[in-house]
Structure formats: structure tokens, C-alpha cells
Amino acid sequence: MITKEHIIEITTQLYLKNGVKAVTIADISKELSTSKRTIYNHFIDKTDLMQACVEQYLASIRTKNDDIINSSSSAIEAMGMIQQQILIRANYSNAHFYKEVLKYYPSILKDSYKKNAEFAFRELLYLSKWGVKDGFFRKDLDPEVTMATVQTLLKLCNNTKIFPSKHYSKARLTEGIMVAYLRGLCTDKGLVEVEKHKHLYLNID
């Protein structure tokens, strides 16, 4: 039996691999080895299916980040592992995926990304306070300003218009942007922790 969850999983994989525009309901039903009717038994239309896929995809990111934080020994290690996941997803996803979702389903992406951005910011605030508590980050940093800056820098690392991928590797950008900024937040103790986990930030190509 084809479940709603399985449809969402397979459809999301197709969207990420091929982009939204290229994937039709017929493609999805073929991949699932089922009929279009089965899909429409669970979803009103393609927009309804896209909504479910985006929400599930972003929820999986939040769960993964929570798991990383819970298993990390420090805020610096957690930030490195989360950075890795962001860049891995960027490399895995079709270059047109987000642009096409924004073009063809603007309300879906806007609403979902707003929720995800708010979650990410709260998560980064937690990491900044954790880092200060452990003596890795300077006590005088402004957590909200600092983590809003981190969010902006993460986007900058993925901006291929400013940094074309054929000239700038992910490791080079991360070294020059994220690690450089991170060092500025750190105490002497924190700098030692950055060097300990530096491989997490650079082993990403």
C-alpha cells in the first residue's frame, strides 16, 4: 500500500534532484509504480503535494539540527556540523529547486521559510549562549546581532553570483567567511576549540 508519507518522501527526492518544473504527477506515479488516482486520494492537487513536501523537508532539517546539537560536545562543534549539512544540501539539491518553488508556489516557500528561519535563529541564539557559558565565546558579544550575522554569512557562502563555484570552493569560502568570523567571536579557549573542530568547517567539497 502506498502511504501519504511515502508519496511525500519520493516526490521530495524527485523535486530536489530534477527541480519542480520538470517533475509531473505522471513522473511521480511512475516512480512510485502506482496510478495518479492514488496520489490524488491523498492530495487535492500538485500545490497541496508541494506544500506537504516543503514542510516535511524543512521539518527533517530541524530534526537533524536538533540531533546534531544534542550529540555535540560544544557549540563550536555543533555549528561546524550544521554548516556541513547546509552545504551538503546545497550540493545535493537541483540548482533550480528553490527558484522554481518561489516562482510557481511563492506562498508555500514564503510561509515555510519564515517558520524555518525563526527556528534557525532561535537555534543559533541557543548556540551563542552555550558558547558563552562554556567560555568559548566572548561574554560581551550581542547574541542576536551575532547570530543574525551568522545567518547572513551562511547565505553568502551559497551565493554563486558573488562567488562562482568554478572559482571559489566551498572550503575556501567557509575558511574566508565563516571560520574567520567565528574566530572573532572566540576567547583564547574558543580558538583552541575552533582548531580542534576546524575540519568540520572545511571538509565540505
pLDDT of residue 93: 67
The least confident of 49-63, 99-113, 120-134 is 99-113
The least confident of 88-92, 136-140, 179-183 is 88-92
Give the pLDDT mean for 50-58: 89
pLDDT of residue 204: 54
Confidence of residue 35 (pLDDT cuts 50, 70, 90): very high
Would you say 68 and 82 are in contact if contact means Cβ atoms under 8 Å apart?
yes
pLDDT of residue 145: 92
Q: Which residue has the higher pLDDT, 204 or 157?
A: 157
pLDDT of residue 203: 65
Confidence of residue 166 (pLDDT cuts 50, 70, 90): confident
Indicate the average pLDDT of the chain.
88
Which backbone phi and psi does 195 adopt, to 5 degrees?
-65, -35
pLDDT of residue 170: 80
- Residue 19 pLDDT > 90: no
- Residue 88 pLDDT > 80: no
Which fold is adopted by the domain 46-202? Answer: Tetracycline Repressor; domain 2 (1.10.357)
- Residue 52 pLDDT > 70: yes
Give the pLDDT mean for 118-142: 93
pLDDT of residue 45: 92
| Cα–Cα distance for residue pair 13/135, rounded to 1 Å | 41
Q: What interhelical angle do 75-92 and 46-71 show, nearest 10? A: 150
Percent of the chain with pLDDT over 70: 93
In order of 6, 61, 118, 136, the CA distances from 146 in angstroms are 39, 22, 15, 14
pLDDT in tens, 134-160: 999 999 999 999 988 988 998 888 788
Sign of CA dihedral 176, 91, 86, 65: negative
Three-state secondary structure string covering the chain? CCCHHHHHHHHHHHHHHHCCCCCCHHHHHHHHCCCHHHHHHHCCCHHHHHHHHHHHHHHHHHHHHHHHHHHCCCHHHHHHHHHHHHHHHHHHCCCCHHHHHHHHCHHHHHHHHHHHHHHHHHHHHHHHHHHHHCCCECCCCCHHHHHHHHHHHHHHHCCCCCCCCCCCCHHHHHHHHHHHHHHHHECHHHHHHHHHCHHHHHCCC
Which backbone phi and psi does 95 adopt, to 5 degrees?
-60, -25
The one-letter code for the residue type at 127 is L
Confidence of residue 20 (pLDDT cuts 50, 70, 90): confident
Closest to 65 in 3D by CA, of 81, 88, 54, 76 = 81
| Cα–Cα distance for residue pair 163/143, rounded to 1 Å | 28
- Residue 13 pLDDT > 70: yes
